[in-house]
A = this chain, B = another copy of it.
């Protein structure tokens, strides 16, 4: 099965998936975005909940994750271009279709890892 040329060698959706969500925050970001658009700062704040409180997220990191997600087509960047900068990130259609997948993961994790509901409030996988 000669593969195309530039086509990544993965050959398996799983590899692409792993690459797409590589990074500590990507899944969290998508998940947090499921309830609606969020601003940069809101995402950042949301990421801090449930994490080690002491660790602030480097802008560089978050920025990169956001950009990667955008280029992956999971989220969409909306720049309002106003004086006090305002940028919102929202899920694309593709991103929304990905939410259930994360739900499955969370569900499994909750059952088999028993990682405590904790920080999330209670919006675990119930909705």
Contact = CB atoms under 8 A, between A and B. Distances in A.
A52 interface: yes
A109 interface: yes
Interface in A70-127: 94, 97-98, 100-102, 104-106, 108-113, 115-116, 118-120
Given A104-B101, A108-B17, A120 B11 contact: yes
The secondary structure that dominates the A interface is: helix
A110 B13 contact: yes
Interface of A: 1-3, 7-18, 20-21, 24, 27-28, 31, 49-53, 55, 94, 97-98, 100-102, 104-106, 108-113, 115-116, 118-120
